[in-house]
């Protein structure tokens, strides 16, 4: 059962750095659709609408923060860094760090299959919580909470440049969404021995999601991973 007493929600609020005026918004953010469907008499809806709002708010907060950074990131750089920071694997890591899973309201089936530790469930709930804060007190409150929770990850990403690692991003997203690893295939190589161009394709669950070329196999695979990652971001899910 979820830990949803008033006292325990206060603990969660302290970890979020925000106290709700309307606790029903927080409870909605913690309600998984499986709980809603198994308890139709409950007044609160599940958290997917809040998740949708939270995703937009999170993206805006991160982009605004990058825009004001003294390094003056370009549009394409901001897009790359944002995509790295708002990905599901990182959201679930942050959610795990504040113990969000123990507060979730899950249906029995989801509970029995380890839903409290599922990366996708945690990531979605984290976005829903951000959406709830935004609706409860506006953009400023949501921004403060998001930057507080993301502070370490933002600093790490900007100092290391690790946001460019498309293969790692794709692997994390593939494991979280589909429970499988991407499969890379070198489908072509052409040119003289010292000027070869390699072409790679990447598959997830047997479906091709990306193709790319490069001066070596690693570059080709990275280019394919980049295309696949961008396709997943825009809703190109594996069927």
CA 102 to chain centroid, in Å, comes to 19
Dump strand ranges (E) for the chain. 183-190, 197-204, 207-214
Question: Do the bridges between strand 183-190 and strand 197-204 make them parallel or antiparallel, or are there none, so unpaired?
Answer: antiparallel
> Tokens 């003056």, residue?
72
Lookup: tokens for 227:
């295309």
CB hemisphere CA count around 190 (13 angstroms): 5
CA 144 to chain centroid, in Å, comes to 19
Q: Which residues, 6 or more positions from 232, have their beta carbon under 8 angstroms from its beta carbon?
A: 170, 173, 177, 209
85, 65 contact by CB (below 8 A): no
d(CA 235, CA 200): 22
216, 157 contact by CB (below 8 A): no
47, 121 contact by CB (below 8 A): no
Lookup: tokens for 164:
């460019």
For 72, other C-beta atoms within 10 Å of its C-beta total 9
Positions annotated as catalytic residues are 55, 127
């Amino acid at each position: 059962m979820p830990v949803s007493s008033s006292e325990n929600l206060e603990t969660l609020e302290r970890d979020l750095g925000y106290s709700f005026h309307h606790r029903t918004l927080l409870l909605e953010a913690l309600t998984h659709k499986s709980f809603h469907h198994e308890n139709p008499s409950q007044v609160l809806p599940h958290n997917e609408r809040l998740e949708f709002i939270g995703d937009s708010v999170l993206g805006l907060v991160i982009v605004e923060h990058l825009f004001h950074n003294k390094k003056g990131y370009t549009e394409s750089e901001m897009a790359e860094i944002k995509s790295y920071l708002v990905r599901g694997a990182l959201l679930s890591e942050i959610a795990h760090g504040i113990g969000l899973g123990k507060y979730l309201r899950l249906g029995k089936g989801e509970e029995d299959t380890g839903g409290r530790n599922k990366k996708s469930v945690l990531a979605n709930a984290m976005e829903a919580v951000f959406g709830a804060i935004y609706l409860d007190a506006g953009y400023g409150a949501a921004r403060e909470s998001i930057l507080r929770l993301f502070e370490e990850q933002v600093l790490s990403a900007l100092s290391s440049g690790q946001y460019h690692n498309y293969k790692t991003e794709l692997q994390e997203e593939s494991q979280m969404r589909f429970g499988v690893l991407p499969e890379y295939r070198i489908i072509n190589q052409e040119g003289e021995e010292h000027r070869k161009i390699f072409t790679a394709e990447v598959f997830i669950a047997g479906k091709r999601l990306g193709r790319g070329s490069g001066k070596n196999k690693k570059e080709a695979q990275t280019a394919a991973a980049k295309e696949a990652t961008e396709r997943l971001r825009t809703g190109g899910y594996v069927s």
